[in-house]
Structure formats: structure tokens, C-alpha cells
Amino acid sequence: MKSLRILLAAALLAGTAAHAAPLKTDLAKSSVSATFKQMNVPVEARFKTFAAQIDYDAAKPEASKAMVDIGTASMDLGDAEYNREVAKKEWFNTAQFPKATFVSTSIKPAGAGKLAVAGKLTIKGKTADVTFPLTVKADGKQQVFEGQLPIKRLAFNIGEGEWKDTSMVADEVVIKFRVTAGQ
């Protein structure tokens, strides 16, 4: 895992040398959340700790790269007791899997202000190929990247045992993110 991370970082650095410098993420204007339905009630959980590294050049969008690290223990359901519960083994198992990661494999332009992103999403040690649309718009000197990515929680073993019941917590979870970054 660690060597993989170093490899990825090296790859990113290599990319950086060839293209523009990676953008600096403005965490105050960025957010990552997961919305799911619990007995049909929409519940939004926010991740307080995450890091995003985006290498984006509007002139050469297909050379873009993105890498996002999310601290699974920072998930906030708005209740301290519930936050402790979802850190446990049946949910995120944050002791063993402290991070969820996304690493792009391809980013292609898809119309004005839009990108089609493909990449690998790893949660709780399980990696899946995902694709999702991303919008990008300039905000002053910064770029705002926004997107939604629906996933199936059971594909990542999120909610084991009695929590597999999707009538209690739906299988579909929508990850919403907004990353503001600039030079």
C-alpha cells in the first residue's frame, strides 16, 4: 500500500514535470460528502479530512490527473456516537483502512466546462473502476471541480452482517465533491 502510494506520488511528480504544476487545493472551499438513504430518509455525511491533488491544464485537459485521499475516520454524521459506530469493523473499519482513495486513470474533455473522468476508487481495501462526469469552472484565479459519483456500498463491504439489509440502509450512496484549486 505504502509503496503504491509512493509510486503514485512519483507518477504524479513525473506528470508535473511534463505539464503544469499541480494545483493547490483550497480546502476551505472544498468538500466531500456521501449521501445515502436510511429507511428512505436522505442522510448526508461529510468527510472533514481529505486531500486532493489535481493536475489540470485547461489547454491540455487530457493530460490532467487527479488523486483524492479521504480520511475515513473523519466521517461526520452529525452525532458523535454514530460517528464512533461507523468507524467500526462492519462499516469503515478505520483502524485497518484509514483512507479511501481515488486515482484517475483518464480524464477527457466532454464539452464546454465538462470532463469525463475514469479512475480507481478504493474503499475498505476494495478497488473498483469508476467513471463520472466532472464540471470545471473558473472562479477568479481558482478552478472549481464539481461532481457526483454514485456507488454501491456493498461492493466495498460498507455495512456488514445485519447491515447488509438494503431496506434499512440503501445500497446506493452518492459521493458528492467540490474541489477548489488554483496555482
Asked if 82 interacts with another protein (CB under 8 A), we say: yes
CB 124 to another protein: min, Å: 17
Asked if 168 interacts with another protein (CB under 8 A), we say: yes
Asked if 129 interacts with another protein (CB under 8 A), we say: no
Q: Of 116 and 174, which has the nearer Cβ to another protein?
A: 174
The residue from 6, 44, 62, 120 that contacts another protein (CB under 8 A) is: 44
Cell digits for 181? 484549486
- In order of 4, 62, 158, the CA distances from 10 in angstroms are 10, 19, 30
Q: What are phi and psi of 10, to 5 degrees?
A: -65, -40
The residue from 73, 75, 86, 134 that contacts another protein (CB under 8 A) is: 86
Cell digits for 13? 511528480
84 three-state secondary structure: helix
Q: In sequence order, what DSSP letters do the residues of 89-101 get, joined into one string?
A: TTTT-TTT--EEE
Q: Of 18 and 41, which has the nearer Cβ to another protein?
A: 41
CB 139 to another protein: min, Å: 24
Could you give the CA distance from residue 154 to residue 171 in angstroms, rounded to a whole number?
6
Asked if 75 interacts with another protein (CB under 8 A), we say: no
How many chain residues touch another protein (CB under 8 A)?
A: 18
Please answer whether residues 182 and 143 qualify as being in contact, where contact means their C-beta atoms are separated by less than 8 angstroms: yes
CB 169 to another protein: min, Å: 8
Please answer whether residues 10 and 58 qualify as being in contact, where contact means their C-beta atoms are separated by less than 8 angstroms: no
CB 145 to another protein: min, Å: 25
Asked if 43 interacts with another protein (CB under 8 A), we say: yes
Asked if 172 interacts with another protein (CB under 8 A), we say: no
Closest Cα partner for 34 from 125, 169, 139, 164?
169
Please answer whether residues 48 and 77 qualify as being in contact, where contact means their C-beta atoms are separated by less than 8 angstroms: no
The residue from 2, 28, 40, 112 that contacts another protein (CB under 8 A) is: 40
Q: Which residues here bind another protein, judged by CB under 8 A?
A: 38-44, 77-79, 81-82, 85-86, 162-163, 165, 168
